[in-house]
């Protein structure tokens, strides 16, 4: 498989940000990781720590685990994450759909990533990956092309706190259109 990562000038050397990416399936670990920038850690569900070897490595490398079933703990994790962004100059990578879409398209975005961006006073940078659901087969030599594209940063003001759902929906629409465009381009590459 060929993986192409596209990044506009507006994102290069931007400093700490909250990256939000679409989450399609377990292959994201191998495809989307090609786009992870230096100084970036991810936020993942707490249950990841129980995956043998991977879970321990995930936690030991500084990634952040969140308990999505407990709202109070999740909000506390957002505050801790925002503090790490500010104090350590880290960027955070999130899959704000909260689960893998498995071919259902871009699912609604949860607002935790947006709350984190407001609390840490950094922009959101959407990252869109072309469709890989049903296109990757482990027994096939050529699995085509996956295109991952960073979009321009989105700055969210403190005043936007009251309309986070509106902001999340606007980012969802922007990402959804880009994912469709990238998927068509990647499919055309594979058809040739």
Among residues 79, 77, 59, 60, the alpha carbon closest in space to that of 68 is found at 77
Q: What is the pTM of this model?
A: 0.84
Count of other CB atoms within 10 angstroms of residue 152: 12
Count of other CB atoms within 10 angstroms of residue 15: 10
Spell out the residues 6+ positions from residue 169 whose beta carbon is closer than 8 angstroms to its own: 108, 109
The answer to whether the beta carbons of residues 109 and 128 sit under 8 Å apart is: no
Q: At what angle do helices 112-120 and 71-88 cross, to 10 degrees?
A: 40
Q: What is the largest CA-CA distance in the chain?
A: 51
Strand 64-66 to 40-45 pairing: parallel
The answer to whether the beta carbons of residues 10 and 152 sit under 8 Å apart is: yes
Sheet containing strand 91-94, strands side by side: 2-6, 145-150, 124-129, 18-21, 91-94, 40-45, 64-66
pLDDT at 57: 82
pLDDT at 176: 94
Question: How many structural domains is the chain composed of?
Answer: 1
Average pLDDT per 10 consecutive residues for the chain, totaling 192 residues: 90 92 77 85 79 80 73 74 88 80 76 90 94 70 83 86 85 94 85 59
Range of the domain at 76: 2-191
CATH number at residue 94: 3.40.1130.10
DSSP summary character for residue 84: H
């Amino acid at each position: 498989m060929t993986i192409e990562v596209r990044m506009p000038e507006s994102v290069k050397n931007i400093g700490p940000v909250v990256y939000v990416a679409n989450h399609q399936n377990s292959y994201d670990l191998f495809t989307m990781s090609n786009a992870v920038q230096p100084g970036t850690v991810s936020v993942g569900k707490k249950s990841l720590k129980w995956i043998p070897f991977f879970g321990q490595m995930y936690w030991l490398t500084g990634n952040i685990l969140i308990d999505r079933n407990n709202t109070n703990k999740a909000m506390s994790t957002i505050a801790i994450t925002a503090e790490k962004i500010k104090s350590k100059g880290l960027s955070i990578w999130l899959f704000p759909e909260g689960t893998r879409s498995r071919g259902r398209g871009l699912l609604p975005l949860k607002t935790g990533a947006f709350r984190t961006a407001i609390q840490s006073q950094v922009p959101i940078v959407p990252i869109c990956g072309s469709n890989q659901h049903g296109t990757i087969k482990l027994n096939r030599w050529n699995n085509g092309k996956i295109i991952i594209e960073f979009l321009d940063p989105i700055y969210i003001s403190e005043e936007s706190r009251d309309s986070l759902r509106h902001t999340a929906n606007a980012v969802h629409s922007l990402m959804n259109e880009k994912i469709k465009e990238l998927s068509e381009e990647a499919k055309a590459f594979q058809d040739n």
